[in-house]
Structure 1
Amino acid sequence: MRKYLGLLAAVSIALILAIVGTTPPSPRDETAPQTDFSAARAMVDVRQVAAAPHVTGSAENARVRAYLVERLRALGLDTGTTASPLGEQGAARLRQWRGDEMAAPPVENIFARLGGSDPSLPAVLLMAHYDSVWGSAGASDDAAGVAAILEIVRAVKAKGALPRDLLVLFTDAEELGLEGAKYFFANNSNRRRVGAIINLEARGGGGRTTLFQTSAQNGEAMRLYHRAVDRPGASSLAAFVYSVLPNDTDLTPALSGDYTAYNFAFIGRPGLYHSPDATPENLDQGALQDMGAQGLDLTWALLSAETLPGKAADLTFFDMFGLFLISYPAWAGWLLIAAAALLVIDQIRAAETRKTMARGSAATLLVILLGAGLLYLFNLLSGADGAINYYDRLAATTRLEVQALLICAAMLVLALAWLGGQRASLIGIILAIVVQLFAPTAAYIIVIPLLLGGLAAVAKRRVGGGGGIALAVLFAAISLGFLFQNSHALMQGVGPAMPMVAALLAALALPPLTILAPPVSGRAGNIIAAFLLIAALALALWVRLDPVAETVAVYSEFRMPR
């Protein structure tokens, strides 16, 4: 048993770190200081806004609008509404939801201003949409964002005089094609007063809130975020992934302007996206606290800044387990790759034979190629091989994530049993170089584990003894925890459609596992891998044969385009 202690310690610490990094903070109650964000105070507004579905043009939408206007005025903001026509695409979607040919209603935005000491300075705009989809109360999407903004405004007022204006925009018809935001940023004269924008969104019902998109050339913007936010949740990898997916939020129409912009969302509990079960009772109040706390920190920093952030070269950024943010210029990724390469070269020099190096590279390729192939195949077996209900697949995300974990674990066991794991492989460095060339702000997902794995190997070999083992366990735990945290985020984001990405992250787990894992016989490895794959197959069949989830959007039977 003693030979497994190092491995068990590293995996246990890694799981703890990953849980810390993926768990939102505890919600603050009504007794929280007036200058702090309180999810309990914000929930009062969530319950009002998300009392029932409130689609653009509906009586419930009008009730919510009247409530929000009253709330903003009670907070001391100059508040008004503007009406604009609903476009044909949005009107067609609304008619399909309703099942009738009623005339398209107007789109009615809510705009408010809290004056600062110098109104000539560019203002800070907080933005969220107050409409919902058909059949969903929209507690998370986007009553949570609306309520968070109201609580942020209250807390900002409690902090004292504002150096610059704070603006609030609650858009209508976001769910019908960003209609309210498009009109504001194309036609409303108040757009010229805006210097910085914070947009709050959700795709799910909980989990950590992540800064997943910024305006272009975000160097100064991210440095301010880095200084301001107490418990960060941010990822330039998420920003890259989002940029290549066909998704939009209300921030999209603003990004063509010269604004400093930040986009936040939580995507946990994905089965609640546009769901009839997206009610206030089912909203993760920790996610609301996370969104509001980050939003308040950033809002106050922007309001207090002598000048708002300008344009500067993009940064690579990511949070380490939600405890602190790491950010650096994208070009510095080449320096980190060079450092990781030196560590790999050190391992190559210590390798006994070229055969060892070849086996290490083969192990890496086995996990990536065979793992990706099996992930793709099992995803098809789980029901992704024909017409699918998008929301039903989201509801199965947790099971699909466990399925991917079982497949990746099987590949790692086979790599350790057949090829002795990864020793002195340059495959990871080659992959890091490729990603650094084409997506430099996303390359950290490969470089950081390579660095930590290399440090674990050096510590065990060069320090030696109990101290070397302890350092190796520490570096391995951080590396594995980092991979667990980011794998979870990626699987929630793209797992139901593209689980193959998990194979690459699994291969990056080979260096620390090889350092700490005792030898695995071929027979034992085959048995363990077979058991894991059978369990993954059972999960795939469970998802495939399960009835459509009760949480799916009620309009999804119409197969509306997203």
Structure 2
Amino acid sequence: MDYLPTSLGDTRLAARRGPFKWLQSALIILCIAGAILIGLLQIKAPKSANLNAPPEDFSAARAMKQLEIIAEEPHPVGSAAHDTVRDYLMSELKGLGLTPEIHKSQAVLNGAGMVNLENIVTRIPGTANTKPVMIAAHYDSVPAAPGAADDGAAIAAMLETVRALQTSGPLKNDLILLMTDGEELGLTGARAFMAEHPWAGEPGVVLNFEARGNRGPSFMFETSDRNGWLISEFIKAAPNPIGYSLIYNVYKLMPNDTDMTVFKEGGLAGLNFAFGMGANAYHDELDTPENLDQASLQHHGEYMLSLTRHFGDLNLKDVRQEDAVYFNIFGWKMVHYPQSWAIWILAFTVLLYVLTLWHGMSRRKISLKGTLGGAAIFLLLLGVVYGVAALAWSLVRSSVSREQLRVIGLDPIISVYWFAGFLAVTIGIIWLLIRWISRYNHAENVWSGTLLVWLLLSAATCLYLPGGSYLFVWPLIFSLIGLNLSMLRRINDSGWTSAIFAAPGFILFTPICYMVFVMMTLMMAGELMVFATIALSLVFPVFCTKEQRRKIKQAANKSFP
């Protein structure tokens, strides 16, 4: 229900609000746009270094010279081009003063018979080895692609990393370089190494590098279990770290695999990195050195060099520690804390929500019935948005050719416009439904009901997806603070207050939403728009009808003819 002003002071205050309406609208827009921009700034790659970079630094320009040879043409297992790349890598490693060996093996593939595998392995001794650091990447490509990003960029980065390491003196720990073969044939080279090679069980930390596109920042998207110590050291050492425990928790539920899967099955601890924007180049003829974003290569290399130096001088005999919750906040600044803290943060949030309800009811600003109605509105809206988005994408799929659909879904420029279109339709649906339904429910009831659903999402992720709990619990805490402050005011200003305190939520949601869009494409338009709606729900009061405000103004006019 709507609550009208209860005193002459209220009506006077309401009557003076008009001149500041434009300022509040501008504040709302600035808060939302600014928070989204801060979120997007998390997902950027560092500027690539040129050929004149200091010799002890990683240079993408220098690595590109190697990559132009490695990814000159497709080089799948068994091809003549594969042998050429193998020989080139052996020659370059020897030229760097190393003694590489070819670890030969065989694998039986379903429907393809027996294949010969040739991993390239070498070791750089340390001065006081505890356990070796191992850098791993695969050098084979699929038949259709030259493999500049997948995985030539990592192989070229490995050569440039070794060159840079030699300028700064030896590490304490040994360094193992593993260039696996047959990754594109089911991780066969990594499996052969772990099953047969005498060094397989030695590494204390593995750094594996992959790609699922040809541009964008390199994400640390996977770790081994009990990753607390690894995450802490990763944040200390990496100059431009990007990683989200939510992505890792979701990745574990998916059927996707890399060589890191095999290393983890073998009991090794480590970190897995990949860049994934520009998905139209993945396993495609577009995956050439000319089309590769050198900033992505630079990010790969900076991780590789800085982490090798860091872990190379640490005691790696015991690297297991309680799993961590971790995420970026401002640019490359990351936050992390033990996963066990999640349940205590949730308990605090539940208490804060209960106190908020009590506060609102005591001030007659919200009611239990209105709160439940607000939650129902939110759930209804999620269903409507999913249905409209899924239906719209189904109509698109049936109206265009297969090639056009591929462009719409995968082209990094075209797909963004389609995503923006779906998002605009979603915002329109939210505006219409919230504006209509909120005529029958107070804006702060809508707000408290929405946050009740957020509380349930926080509890669910805390219990079943703890690495993703941060995405819901921290925006919820800030929004609850905003709701309490809004209820302290005599006039309903929940719109701009909700926008200010929704900023942390938009900062956290924006990079995840964009990454899900890039990785999953608009083939999951319904799910993507639901995810966007959850973020936008933090500012539902902005969409609420101004009917209550008109009633206040009418009351003010009657009091002051």
- How far residue 307 of structure 1 moved from its aligned partner, in angstroms, is 3.0
Residue identity matched to 1:416? I
Residue identity matched to 2:61? A
- How far residue 366 of structure 1 moved from its aligned partner, in angstroms, is 2.7
Structure 1 469/361 Cα, relative in aligned 2: closer, same or farther at 3 Å?
A: closer
The answer (yes or no) to whether the contact 1:359–1:423 under 8 Å persists in 2 is: no
Per-residue displacement from partner, 1:101-154 (whole Å, max 9, x unpaired)? xxx5521111111111134x2111101011111121111100111112222222
- 1:286 counterpart residue number: 295
Pick one of 257, 264, 281 that aligns with 1:272.
281
d(CA) in 2 for partners of 1:79 and 1:277?
31
State the SS of the aligned residue for 1:83: strand
d(CA) in 1 for partners of 2:124 and 2:316?
19
Structure 1 405/156 Cα, relative in aligned 2: closer, same or farther at 3 Å?
A: farther
The answer (yes or no) to whether the contact 1:206–1:284 under 8 Å persists in 2 is: yes
Pick one of 113, 119, 122 that aligns with 1:109.
119
Pick one of 151, 157, 164 that aligns with 1:148.
157
Matched, 1:81 2:102: yes
The answer (yes or no) to whether the contact 2:67–2:156 under 8 Å persists in 1 is: yes
Greater Cα shift, 318-327 or 333-342 = 333-342
The answer (yes or no) to whether the contact 1:123–1:164 under 8 Å persists in 2 is: yes
Per-residue displacement from partner, 1:509-534 (whole Å, max 9, x unpaired)? 34542455674689xxxxxxxxxxxx
Pick one of 66, 69, 72 that aligns with 2:90.
69
The answer (yes or no) to whether the contact 1:270–1:397 under 8 Å persists in 2 is: no
d(CA) in 2 for partners of 1:516 and 1:168?
55
Aligned runs of 1:324-343 on 2, under 5 Å?
324-343=333-352
d(CA) in 2 for partners of 1:498 and 1:450?
26
Residue identity matched to 2:383? L
Gaps in structure 1 of 5+ consecutive residues: 93-103, 523-562
d(CA) in 1 for partners of 2:349 and 2:402?
42
Aligned runs of 1:521-532 on 2, under 5 Å?
none
Aligned runs of 1:438-457 on 2, under 5 Å?
438-457=464-483
Structure 1 504/343 Cα, relative in aligned 2: closer, same or farther at 3 Å?
A: farther
d(CA) in 1 for partners of 2:217 and 2:330?
11
Greater Cα shift, 351-360 or 248-257 = 351-360
- 2:388 counterpart residue number: 374
Normalised TM-score (structure 2): 0.83
Residue identity matched to 1:155? A
The answer (yes or no) to whether the contact 1:127–1:198 under 8 Å persists in 2 is: yes
Matched, 1:434 2:455: no
Per-residue displacement from partner, 1:389-420 (whole Å, max 9, x unpaired)? 99664447545533542343234323431344
Structure 1 405/122 Cα, relative in aligned 2: closer, same or farther at 3 Å?
A: same
Residue identity matched to 2:261? T
Residue identity matched to 2:379? L
Structure 1 309/358 Cα, relative in aligned 2: closer, same or farther at 3 Å?
A: same
State the SS of the aligned residue for 1:126: strand
The answer (yes or no) to whether the contact 2:204–2:319 under 8 Å persists in 1 is: no
Structure 1 221/388 Cα, relative in aligned 2: closer, same or farther at 3 Å?
A: farther
Per-residue displacement from partner, 1:186-230 (whole Å, max 9, x unpaired)? 111121332211100000111121111111121222222122222
State the SS of the aligned residue for 2:303: helix
- 1:410 counterpart residue number: 428
The answer (yes or no) to whether the contact 1:459–1:469 under 8 Å persists in 2 is: no
Greater Cα shift, 437-446 or 302-311 = 302-311
Aligned runs of 1:94-243 on 2, under 5 Å?
105-119=115-129, 121-243=130-252
d(CA) in 2 for partners of 1:470 and 1:227?
38
Structure 1 185/361 Cα, relative in aligned 2: closer, same or farther at 3 Å?
A: same
- 1:423 counterpart residue number: 447
Residue identity matched to 2:133? V
The answer (yes or no) to whether the contact 2:51–2:59 under 8 Å persists in 1 is: yes
Structure 1 192/357 Cα, relative in aligned 2: closer, same or farther at 3 Å?
A: closer
Structure 1 352/472 Cα, relative in aligned 2: closer, same or farther at 3 Å?
A: closer
Structure 1 259/360 Cα, relative in aligned 2: closer, same or farther at 3 Å?
A: same
State the SS of the aligned residue for 1:255: helix
Residue identity matched to 1:418? W
Structure 1 230/474 Cα, relative in aligned 2: closer, same or farther at 3 Å?
A: farther
Pick one of 332, 351, 360 that aligns with 1:323.
332
Greater Cα shift, 290-299 or 248-257 = 290-299
d(CA) in 2 for partners of 1:446 and 1:212?
20
Structure 1 469/504 Cα, relative in aligned 2: closer, same or farther at 3 Å?
A: closer
State the SS of the aligned residue for 1:155: helix
- How far residue 279 of structure 1 moved from its aligned partner, in angstroms, is 0.9
Larger C-alpha radius of gyration, 1 or 2?
2
- How far residue 268 of structure 1 moved from its aligned partner, in angstroms, is 0.6
Matched, 1:509 2:535: yes
The answer (yes or no) to whether the contact 1:89–1:177 under 8 Å persists in 2 is: no
Aligned runs of 1:287-306 on 2, under 5 Å?
287-306=296-315
- 2:558 counterpart residue number: none
Percent of aligned positions that are identical: 29
Matched, 1:362 2:362: no
d(CA) in 2 for partners of 1:134 and 1:463?
66
Per-residue displacement from partner, 1:485-516 (whole Å, max 9, x unpaired)? 11001122224443443345334334542455
Residue identity matched to 1:73? K
d(CA) in 1 for partners of 2:471 and 2:327?
9
- 1:535 counterpart residue number: none
- How far residue 461 of structure 1 moved from its aligned partner, in angstroms, is 5.2
State the SS of the aligned residue for 1:135: coil
- How far residue 439 of structure 1 moved from its aligned partner, in angstroms, is 1.4
The answer (yes or no) to whether the contact 2:118–2:180 under 8 Å persists in 1 is: yes
Matched, 1:21 2:42: yes
The answer (yes or no) to whether the contact 1:215–1:260 under 8 Å persists in 2 is: yes
Gaps in structure 2 of 5+ consecutive residues: 1-21, 549-561
- 1:48 counterpart residue number: 69
Structure 1 115/16 Cα, relative in aligned 2: closer, same or farther at 3 Å?
A: same
Structure 1 399/414 Cα, relative in aligned 2: closer, same or farther at 3 Å?
A: same
Greater Cα shift, 399-408 or 64-73 = 399-408
Greater Cα shift, 166-175 or 486-495 = 486-495
State the SS of the aligned residue for 1:21: coil
Greater Cα shift, 154-163 or 238-247 = 154-163
Greater Cα shift, 212-221 or 364-373 = 364-373
d(CA) in 2 for partners of 1:232 and 1:464?
45
